[in-house]
Amino acid sequence: MIKIVYNGELDPRLCKQVLGSTIPALAEADPDVIYLDSDLMNCIGTAKWGAAHPDRAINCGIAEANMIGVACGLASEGFKPIVHSFGCFSSRRCFDQAFLSAGYAKNDITILGTDPGVTATMNGGTHMPFEDMALYRALPGSTVIDITDPTMLESVLHQCVDLPGVKYVRVGRKSYAKVYEEGSETPIGKAITLREGSDAVVFATGIMIHEAMQAAQALEKEGISVAVVDMFTVKPIDVDAVCEWAGKTGAVVTAENHNRYGGLTSAVSEVLGARCPVPIEHVAVEDEFGEVGTQSYLQKRFGLTAEHVAEAVRKVISRK
Amino acid sequence: MTTETKELKALAAKIRIAALTAINSIGSGHTGGALSIADALAVLYGREMRVDPANPSWPERDKLVCSKGHAGPAVYGTLAVKGFFPYEELRTLNQGGTRLPSHCDRNKTPGIDMTTGSLGQGVSLACGMALGEKLRGRDSRVFLIVGDGETNEGQVWEGFSFASAKKLGNLVVLLDWNKRQLDGWTVDIHDMGDFEAKFKAFGFDTVKVNGNDVDELAAALERTRKGGDKPYAIVMDTVKGAGIKEVAETAMNHTYPVTDENLAIWKERLEAEIKELEG
Ligand SMILES: Cc1ncc(C[n+]2csc(CCOP(=O)(O)OP(=O)(O)O)c2C)c(N)n1
Ligand SMILES: [Mg+2]
């Protein structure tokens, strides 16, 4: 069941609360689920449960590469590890370990990367991954997900545990605009149409879902009809959904809190180029490093607002 | 107390005020780990390091790598007090477009010698800088501040063994042994055991000092001037949150709010201390 309840308002639940309740719930439901963190349990609300369950929650200290390796060793023993660090560290700080010890050696693990892109706000440029999806997309057989809201986070975590391969899930710790009614299930790999439209389609992920919906509402007043599709599974991309909407609208925009290279924009472009070519514009970071600031400052600074989405839609329609 | 001791203690208090002022601008930050190194920064910039605030990129200067980059506000506070940039600029911490981001950034801040924030990386960077000074034939030294939690990272030990193997006697590691990391006490999270023994085993000339005592720090740093074939390690026994009782006594103080009210009280206390020291 998926029920879309978007009205622009924030979901009252923080994603770190969802992580803090879902990880213990998964571990309690399945004795093979094991959670590893790298000195960031307090950041996702798992510290208290972790302290009470030292056999189920392993604090590896500030040693992400080692943590991935340990998780892979556990996977070879039949465990289903869920590992966490900030997105910057759970991608680039341990990528060779994720690539070889997990991917190549076929030790299946779920990797959580919190505070993707501009949601890293006050931690600044060193902590602001605009490249994490690009890295994990390049890992053969991987699944790459950019979470839309707390409800989706819960659903995705439940599915990841038993999914083969390396699963990378990026999610902000704060809240998101509520898109799905609590209890909705969002099957990995299936795009979700949030809004129908005929002039253009916006494929969006993560915080850009809200911006895309706002842009679509504003454009409607200008007489432009825009579809918005939640492409939360960036890999494997839903090829049918991309082609279906490219065909229906003839104009595509991608919107992602990530570098324009290697993430959603690349994934959608690859499908369009090979299967159903139509004009495409992107709303993404223009190959820059991050910097410090509030999220609203950073969204403006890196061109990740509803206005930028609207502008891209107008532009892509003009190219039809 | 000697005049120099008084001066260094006053400088440490000024650095604490400056760091807290910066953090206050955004309400909260890495307060505990900034406070624990204030005394070391006072001795480094007040006594030991060869630097010129008017010429922050002077090649002959001594260099600092604060590998625990989240203590940026403490380093910025030090640099502001020493006149590397206007004091009021501390108020821009983490604001959009600032030169003072939460983690040290060599491309943004006058006086910041290396970019850090991903724990562990500063160690290798400092090794490269120390090697570079030697290859260039300069007598500049590199001071490296490392967090105790940070030493969980394998890269830290790769760097330490490199420093020893390459005989980097111009490298001085200051380990901030404040016994706490983000999730709590280091012994509970990932016990690193005896740092002094570890450094010795890695071939470092090693001493342990009270890292919140300027005299002990000054003496330990003075020893390192003789250079030689071994890198130096100063294991600083510190308190996370040192100098501000309320922060130090809060177990989980990796981040700690600096409200306007807190700042006013703490500033008043530190200013009284400075007044007494400066007579
Ligand atoms: C590679 C990496 N992993 C995780 C973090 C997040 N982080 C920032 S500070 C910190 C704890 C640091 O503890 P410690 O080195 O003891 O510093 P201090 O106690 O002096 O603040 C963590 C986990 C980081 N900055 N870098
Ligand atoms: Mg510490």
- Write out the DSSP string of chain B: --HHHHHHHHHHHHHHHHHHHHHHTTSEE-HHHHHTTHHHHHHIIIII----TT-TT-TTS-EEEESSGGGHHHHHHHHHHTTSS-GGGGGGTTSTT-S--SS--TTTSTT--S---STTHHHHHHHHHHHHHHHTT----EEEEEETGGGGSHHHHHHHHHHHHTT-TTEEEEEEE-SEETTEEHHHHH----HHHHHHHTT-EEEEEETT-HHHHHHHHHHGGG--SS-EEEEEE--TTTT-HHHHT-SS-SSEE--HHHHHHHHHHHHHHHHHHH-
Cβ distance of A127 and B96 shorter than 8 Å = no
* Predicted pLDDT of residue A10: 97
pLDDT digits (tens, 9 = 90+) for A80-139: 999 999 999 999 999 999 999 999 999 999 999 999 999 999 999 999 999 999 999 999
Q: Which residue of B has its CA nearest to A301?
A: B96
pLDDT digits (tens, 9 = 90+) for B178-187: 999 999 999 9
Q: Contact A72/A109 with Cβ under 8 angstroms? A: yes
Question: CATH 3.40.50.970: does it fit domain B3-278?
Answer: yes
Dihedral over Cα of A240, A241, A245, A248: its sign = positive
- ipTM, 2 dp: 0.95
* CA-B150 nearest atom, ligand 1: 15
SS3 A15: helix
Question: Which chain A residues contact residue B156 at CB under 8 A?
Answer: none
Half-sphere exposure of B42 (CA within 13 A, CB side): 30
Which stretches in chain A have pLDDT values below 70? none
Cα of B179 from ligand 2 centre, angstroms: 5
Confidence tier at B155 by pLDDT (50, 70, 90): very high
Task: Please state the rounded mean pLDDT for residues B244-265.
Answer: 98
Cβ distance of A65 and B154 shorter than 8 Å = yes
Q: Select from B146, B181, B186 the residue to mutate for testing ligand 1; criterion: most ligand atoms less than 8 Å from CB.
A: B181
Task: Please state the rounded mean pLDDT for residues B127-152.
Answer: 98
Considering only the beta carbons, identify the residue of B96, B154, B183 that sits closest to A39.
Answer: B183
> Within a 10 A sphere around the Cβ of A2, how many other Cβ atoms?
18
* Predicted pLDDT of residue A94: 98
Task: Please state the rounded mean pLDDT for residues B27-42.
Answer: 98
* Vertex A206: Cα angle to A171 and A29 (nearest 5): 40
Considering only the beta carbons, identify the residue of B94, B153, B254 that sits closest to A292.
Answer: B94
Cα of B73 from ligand 1 centre, angstroms: 15
Tell the residue nearest (CA) to atom 18 of ligand 1: B33
* Predicted pLDDT of residue A12: 97
Confidence tier at B122 by pLDDT (50, 70, 90): very high
B interface test, pick of A44, A48, A59, A62 with most B CB neighbours within 10 Å: A62
Cα of B127 from ligand 2 centre, angstroms: 21
Q: What structural domains does chain A harbor?
A: 15-171 (3.40.50.970), 192-318 (3.40.50.920)
Task: Please state the rounded mean pLDDT for residues B122-135.
Answer: 98
Nearest alpha-carbon partner for A238 in A207, A218, A257, A264:
A264
* Predicted pLDDT of residue B196: 98
Compute the mean pLDDT over every residue in chain B, rounded to the nearest whole number: 98
How is chain B split into domains, by residue range? Answer: 3-278
How far apart are the CA of A95 and the nearest CA of chain B, in angstroms?
A: 14
Cα of B242 from ligand 1 centre, angstroms: 18
